Amino acid sequence: MPFFLTFALQFSHMIHAYVFPGQGSQYPGMGKTHYDNNAFAKRIFDQANEILGFRISDLMFHGSAEDLRQTDVTQPAIFLHSVIAFKCIENPTPHMVAGHSLGEFSALSVNSTLSFEDALRLVSIRAKAMQKACLSVPSTMAAVLGLEDATAEDICRSIQEESGEVVVPANYNCPGQLVISGTVKGIEIACDRMKAAGAKRALVLPVGGAFHSPLMAPARDELALAIQQTDFHRGVCPVYQNVVAKGVTDPDEIRQNLVDQLTGPVRWTQSILSMIADGAEQFTEVGPGKVLQGLISKIQKGTAVDGVE
């Protein structure tokens, strides 16, 4: 068992992992229950409005689904909801944390690698940079269901070699569910070939850009500069980061992995299996929705998983 978990076992009989959702989990009215019923939550929302320079709380509580779909709103909204939900848990005992894409910033805030204020600023910078990158090249993403990862990877590779179009694996969500990312033309070609190779579905997603692909390079550079200027600390527990799918505690490694995540894939399946291999017995999804609970149950049947919203 890894050295860092020997301490966890001294304080708890169960190794508890907390996981945090990413973009796509937002919904109108998110976070309002916490705001209405918890003075601490209200204070955090008010602080976030000041940091961001606009009233994100109004958009979260009263905005439409379309309002919340804008990347520069979606990402801070999900981060806020997730962190506040965690803070409202009575005596949480995280032995390991992870977040899906954007959710990695929520994980780094709750394990004290980043202060709340710094994490929110980075999330805002990241979201705006990603939105700008989306405008530079027509690009999108697609969900591929029912195909082996290796087959999908081979198809992506061959399309890039033959056509020069960018198309890469972006999210390894669970066995049989892979999201690919790239240029509009590359994704169209890939969807046809994935279905011809036996995929049950290959469905273009309603997103405006190719997240977790080389097309996010301009956003990566912008985020890297902001991360260099931000204080990172050694957290209270390891964070299982998307691009390496293993527990990390070194602040410099965490910085680099956060930067690499923008152009690299979210290895969610591999991360969850790594956490289980390192002793995780209970998973709790913290934040809006139940997406990660469903994925974890598919990654490892019988895993104890619940949620706090």
Residue 101 is a catalytic residue: yes
Give helix 149-163 / helix 184-196 axis angle, nearest 10°: 130
Q: Which of 16, 212, 213, 274 is catalytic?
A: 212
Task: Please check whether residue 289 is in contact with residue 283, taking contact to mean a CB–CB distance below 8 angstroms.
Answer: no
Distances (CA, A) of 161 to 15, 198, 215: 45, 21, 16
- Burial state string for 121-143 with b = 16 or more CB within 10 A and e = fewer than 16: bbbbbbbbbbbebbeeeebbbbb
Of 143, 111, 99, 104, nearest to 126 by C-alpha is 104
Task: Please check whether residue 134 is in contact with residue 209, taking contact to mean a CB–CB distance below 8 angstroms.
Answer: yes
What string of DSSP letters covers 200-264? SEEEE-S-SS-TTSGGGHHHHHHHHHHHHTS-----SS-EE-TTT-SEE--HHHHHHHHHHHTTS
Reported as type and span, the H/E element at residue 151 is helix 149-163
For residue 229 the two structure tokens come to: 């200027």
Q: Which of 25, 82, 101, 139 is catalytic?
A: 101
Residue 13 is a catalytic residue: no
Of 218, 44, 52, 40, nearest to 123 by C-alpha is 52
Q: How far is CA 20 from the centre of its chain?
A: 7
Give catalytic residues, as residue numbers: 101, 212
